[in-house]
Amino acid sequence: MTTIFQFIDLRSFSDVWYWLMLGVVWTRVMHAPMGVPAELIHRARRGSPEAADDLARLTAIRVRHERDVARALGAWRVAFWSCALTACGLAAYLYFVEFAQAVFLLLAPYALVRLLVARTAARMDAAMPSDDALVRAHLRLRRQVQVVVLPAVFLSAVWGMGYNLAQHAL
């Protein structure tokens, strides 16, 4: 008789689904860190008036959303992220739980990206930039997110390979 633990495999670094999820999450985050698609930013940068208008409207919507969430749930969100990262980090690196390591390698950089997005939205909420400055602000946020995401993916790959080699070495 099979148990549920034979169907739900918690080995993450040797599972293709973990790597697919890692790729999908970071691709989505890098494509639109604030919910504004990259191609819209680039069309506005090239001078399309419709794209600039769409960018301003979509940015205003996303900034209001971030502001409202921060006002309503700011303290709870900080408490949740602190608790989740601490628990996951302790389980991962104090008790050497592979699943917790995989989740921590995904959540820690994601929390940093969310912090960058919240900070950028707060700056835009204080003073909404004009068309060119708005494009520059979005491009700066994308670069900051890339600076977080690319090393995170590299670190996840190196850690996962090291873990697999240590566990399954001949």
Tell me whether residue 83 is in a domain: yes
Quick check: is 7 in a domain?
no
Total number of domains in the chain: 1
Residues in the chain: 170
Q: Check residue 8 and give its pLDDT.
A: 63
Is the residue at 78 inside a domain?
Answer: yes
Would 131 be classed as within a structural domain?
yes
Ranges of residues in the chain with a pLDDT under 70 are 1-10, 170
Residue 145 lies in a domain: yes
Phi, psi of 34, deg, nearest 5? -110, 10
Q: Which tokens sit at 29?
A: 């985050």
Q: CA-to-CA distance for 133 and 154, rounded, in angstroms?
A: 32
Model confidence pLDDT, tens digit, residues 120-142: 999 999 988 888 899 999 999 99
**pLDDT tens per residue, range 156-170:** 999 999 988 888 775
Q: Is residue 42 part of a domain?
A: no
- Asked whether residue 52 is assigned to any structural domain, the reply reads no
Look at residue 128 in the predicted model and tell me its pLDDT: 84
pLDDT of residue 101: 94
Domain assignment of residue 149, given as a range:
61-163
Is the sign of the CA dihedral 95, 101, 107, 112 positive or negative?
Answer: positive
pLDDT number for residue 6: 61
Q: Look at residue 12 in the predicted model and tell me its pLDDT.
A: 80
Q: Is residue 24 part of a domain?
A: no
DSSP, residue by residue, the chain: ---HHHHS----TT-HHHHHHHHHHHHHHHH-TTS--HHHHHHHHTT-HHHHHHHHHHHHHHHHHHHHHHHHHHHHHHHHHHHHHHHHHHHHHTS--HHHHHHHHHHHHHHHHHHHHHHHHHHHHHS---HHHHHHHHHHHHHHHHHHHHHHHHHHHHHHHHHHHHHH--
Residue 108, token pair as written in the block: 């820690």
CA distance 70 to 159: 33
Alpha carbon of residue 32 to chain centroid: 10
